[in-house]
Amino acid sequence: MTEIIKSIDENTEAGRFRVPRQAFVSDAVFEAERDAIFNRCWLYLGHESELADGPGSFVARTVANRDLLFIRDRNDVVRALFNVCPHRGATVCREKKGKAKSFQCMYHGWVFKDTGELMHLAGESSYAKDFNADGSVNLQPVPRLDSYAGFYFVCFNDEVESLPDYLAGAKEYLDLVANHSPAGMTLVGGTQEYAIRANWKLLVENSFDGYHAEATHATYLDYLMNTNGGLTNVKLQGNAYDLGNGHAVVEYTAPWGRPVAQWIPMWGEEGKIEMDRVYAELVERLGPEKAEQVAHKNRNMVIFPNLVINDIMAITIRTFYPVKPDYMMVNGWALAASDENEWRRKFRLFNFLEFLGPGGFATPDDVEALEKCQAGYKANTSVPWNDISKGMHKKQPSFDDEHQMRAFWREWNRRLETIRQEAGK
């Protein structure tokens, strides 16, 4: 590596925090991130509800450029297997999801159990009797798999710290999402997939950036004020928190309806009765303080490096992986309470599609903003820094400061420090 990767520029006394724009355009940074971050961090794989159909349930998914099978096997054990035939490397399972007891590679017909074991070897008589005695031609498991609050993670580094240690303060906020319902949570519908012509870290920043809401999403805020049962105040208020290990969250109050238990006038009397019922259950199960937080506070959280959970007017789970320094693939899912009635599910999905979905009020605005940033980095190399200093002097930063972004960038910087040192030798 010949290009020296620049560090962030942090000066607490001067209240200055800057990020090198090189980080968004450099091929050297892109390669360093693959090694230092995506090969060594815990990464989101899927939600437990995706395997709720019992033994044999599976989802095929790509995580950090690796094709995986997320599966509940015949013994009711959840596994993450590389979806790659150990024979010649062909993709074994070509379906995105389903239910199966075995998987056959289309190239030479090798068949594998849902546990990953080689079940049938085409032309077996031509192989040694103990050909697979060491299991080397079974479907291989991902080095590490673990879950927390229904969210499954993988890591390609066997020496990574435990998932609970890695999640640090993010565990509390995952618990809040899991506690929306005593019956648990479930993904609704399929996967939303789209691409953005921008660096992946721009979407990290955007996902919990309260500063851009009034400008970028002004149309949505105007819409809220003019809908049936419209609002007179759309001001957002709250704080930003560093959760450790690069994870961070903004938590705030907002005027939109939340189907977990925040009623708005446009939902009418039927909605008020339903929201009161849900809130009463939350109070009884969690206590008044926690019920208030679950029902009436919004949260935009990033779990380092690339898992976003936005628990706002609906709940979205989002991951994104870089293909090139200026191109990423995005996956999104809607999460809901498993036991919510038809009325709540209807308004939850309306909220999700209206704001969070790829065609909603928010996403097209955000995509355009990120792509404009990326274009600016290419066009003007004489301005080498992005400024992320807002709120540095505050003891308790606001949700619309940039404290949460600085938490991400410090961890990014820490993980790339080794790469920078190696490049300087």
Q: In CATH, what number is assigned to the domain containing residue 79?
A: 2.102.10.10
- 424 is a domain residue: no
The position carrying tokens 């995706």 is: 50
| 238-272 pLDDT per residue, tens | 999 999 999 999 999 988 889 999 998 888 999 99
The total number of residues written for the chain in this structure: 425
If asked whether residues 184 and 136 sit together in one domain, one would say no
Beta strand spans in 294-348 (E): 298-303, 307-311, 315-324, 327-337
Residue for token pair 């103990």: 130
Q: Are residues 126 and 194 in the same domain?
A: no
Q: What integer best gives the mean pLDDT of the chain?
A: 92
pLDDT at 224: 65
User: Model confidence over 315-366: pLDDT tens digits?
Assistant: 999 999 999 999 999 999 999 999 999 999 998 988 888 877 777 777 888 9
Note whether residue 374 is domain-resident. yes
Number of other residues whose CB lies within 10 A of the CB of residue 272? 13
Q: pLDDT per residue over 91-136, tens digit each?
A: 999 999 999 999 999 999 999 999 999 999 999 999 999 999 999 9
Dihedral-angle region of residue 186 (phi above 0 means left; psi in -120 to 50 means alpha; beta otherwise): beta
Among 138, 159, 180, the domain-final residue is: 159
Q: Both 138 and 216 in a single domain? A: no
CA distance 411 to 94: 36
229 has a pLDDT exceeding 60: no
The pair phi, psi for residue 26, each rounded to 5°, is -80, 130
**225 and 100 fall within a common domain:** no
Is 2 part of any domain? no
Among 108-117, 219-228, 368-377, 395-404, the minimum mean pLDDT is found in 219-228
The answer to whether position 27 is within a domain reads no
Residues 178 and 250 both lie in one domain? yes
376 and 405, same domain (yes or no)? yes
Distance CA 170, CA 172 (A): 5
| Residue environment code for 253-267, b if the CB has 16+ CB neighbours within 10 A, otherwise e | ebbbbbbbbbbbeeb
| Token pair 């003891």: residue | 395
Does some domain include residue 17? no
Taking every pair of Cα atoms in the chain, the longest distance, rounded to a whole number of angstroms, is: 78
Res 367 pLDDT > 70:
yes
Q: Does some domain include residue 351?
A: yes
Give me the domain span that covers residue 377.
169-417
pTM here is 0.94
Least confident of 18-27, 278-287, 327-336, 373-382: 373-382
Of 216-225, 289-298, 400-409, which gets the smallest average pLDDT? 216-225
pLDDT number for residue 1 = 46
My answer on whether 239 and 366 are in the same domain is: yes
Per-residue confidence at 369, pLDDT binned at 50, 70, 90?
Answer: very high
pLDDT at 364: 87
Domain stops at, among 128, 159, 190: 159
Cβ-based burial of 125 (10 A; exposed 0-12, middle 13-18, buried ≥19) = exposed
Domain count, the chain: 2
Q: What is the mean pLDDT of residues 78-84?
A: 98
**Helix (H) or strand (E) segment spanning residue 59:** strand 57-63
Per-residue pLDDT averaged across 396-410, rounded?
Answer: 97
Instruction: Using pLDDT thresholds of 50, 70 and 90, give the confidence band for residue 6.
Output: confident
The tokens 């906020």 sit on which residue? Answer: 173
Evaluate if residue 292 carries a pLDDT over 60. yes
Cα gap 327→194, rounded to integer Å: 11
Q: 3-state DSSP call for residue 265?
A: helix
Sequence-distant (6+) residues with CB within 8 A of 13 are: none
Q: What are phi and psi of 280, to 5 degrees?
A: -60, -40
Same domain? 123 vs 196: no
What pLDDT score was predicted for residue 225?
A: 65
Please state the rounded mean pLDDT for residues 291-313.
96
Sign, CA torsion 353/356/358/359: positive
Q: Does 343 lie in the same domain as 210? A: yes
For residue 319, the one-letter residue type is T
Do residues 277 and 392 both lie within one domain? yes
**Contact present, 309 and 249 (Cβ < 8 Å):** no
Q: Would 21 be classed as within a structural domain?
A: no
153 and 173 fall within a common domain:
no
Q: How confident is the model at residue 233 (pLDDT cuts 50, 70, 90)?
A: low
pLDDT, mean of residues 49-67: 96
Residue where a domain terminates, one of 139, 159, 179: 159
Listed range (73-82, 171-180, 413-422) with the worst mean pLDDT: 413-422
Between 275-284, 364-373, 395-404, 411-420, the lowest mean confidence (pLDDT) is in 411-420
Q: Are residues 152 and 290 in the same domain?
A: no
CATH number of the domain encompassing residue 285: 3.90.380.10
Q: What pLDDT is stored for residue 79 in this prediction?
A: 98
pLDDT at 230 over 60: no
Residue 289 belongs to some domain of the structure: yes
